[in-house]
Amino acid sequence: MEILFVSDPLASFKIYKDTTFAMMREAQRRGHAILACEPQQLVWQRGGVVQAQVRAITLTGDPKTWFTETASGVRSIKDFGAVVMRKDPPFDSEFFYATHLLEQAEREGARVFNKPRALRDHPEKLAILEFPQFIGPTLVTREADAIKSFHAEHQDIILKPLDGMGGMGIFRVKEDGLNLGGIIETLNKDGAETVMVQKFLPAITEGDKRVLVIGGKPVPFCLARIPQGSEVRGNLAVGGKGVAQPLSESDWAIANALGPILAARGLLLVGLDVIGDSLTEINVTSPTCFQEITDQTGFDVAAMFVDALEAAV
């Protein structure tokens, strides 16, 4: 079948670690045709259907020129066997608009993964609120006094913006409360924006685990992203070390509980972030770590994904 990937520019891919590339490579290996476009190339006009300027590509196996373009042109989104939405965060206004265009394409007959409505309904920081039994002490507010009270209770806390990605904008405030007021003002913009505050979890030293769930089923290995040096963040984007490891008993419990629920809502691929035994985020826009897990364990995550994609269409 023809698979359209809606993604960031192909020229920006770091193919040695890019999960979308791993998906494309496995799909091509199975004989599927690979096409790509960017969200800004989606267009709709009254009397027609959602279309996009797309590129048909063939992967070459050469890391320097990793694809060749075999054709290009305007195509209707509904005509593809599957559409895989893989635009990286942030979830900004343009991402939001793209989900609405893709939802219109669904009404016209397109099969989109992850489902556009589900992308909108599961903001990656706030989606955990539905599952309080799996999370640590957490506060969501724009009120400075509420944050200060939370700090007074828990002493060692993490503050983060709701629209952050890759560890950006995350602060830790310890017992002394040093700079808490300034950090609050920075993040909540003097009460204009909402902030998430969580009790610091010492288990971060063992890694911020990315647990992948595909078609409602957990990948049996996670990637523990371990902070380096004095850094409190384990995100790979800020220098964390990725170590693949088998899921723990609590990882399995969380993934098995959430997997079927999220899959039923149209989330074919989900990345759960777990520190110790606590769920900290539910990533749905463009979950990663396929290649790191496969390279270190031999478990073919991309094959599991394409299996699920084929089954879903």
In terms of phi and psi (left: phi > 0; alpha: psi -120 to 50; beta: otherwise), the region of 276 is left
Instruction: Give the orientation angle of helix 301-312 with respect to helix 290-297, to 10 degrees.
Output: 130
- Rounded-to-integer distance, Cα 62 and Cα 146, Å: 54
- Rounded-to-integer distance, Cα 93 and Cα 8, Å: 16
- Rounded-to-integer distance, Cα 293 and Cα 19, Å: 11
**Complete DSSP assignment for 214-283:** ETTEE-SEEEEEE--TT-----GGGTPEEEEEEPPHHHHHHHHHHHHHHHHTT-SEEEEEEETTEEEEEE
Half-sphere exposure of 262 (CA within 13 A, CB side): 33
Would you give the DSSP letter of residue 83?
E
- Rounded-to-integer distance, Cα 19 and Cα 15, Å: 8
Active site residue 117: no
Catalytic residue among 75, 87, 125, 199: 125
Catalytic residue among 210, 235, 251, 292: 210
Instruction: Give the orientation angle of helix 144-154 with respect to helix 180-188, to 10 degrees.
Output: 140
Active site residue 2: no
Active site residue 281: yes
Active site residue 160: yes
Active site residue 14: no
Bridge partners for 217 per DSSP: 214
Taking the CA atoms of the chain, what radius of gyration do you get in angstroms?
Answer: 20
Catalytic residue among 26, 38, 281, 292: 281
Catalytic residue among 235, 251, 283, 292: 283
- Rounded-to-integer distance, Cα 215 and Cα 121, Å: 18
Active site residue 233: yes
Alpha helices in the chain (DSSP H): 19-29, 93-107, 116-121, 144-154, 180-188, 249-264, 290-297, 301-312
Query: Which residues participate in catalysis according to the annotation?
Result: 125, 160, 210, 225, 233, 273, 281, 283
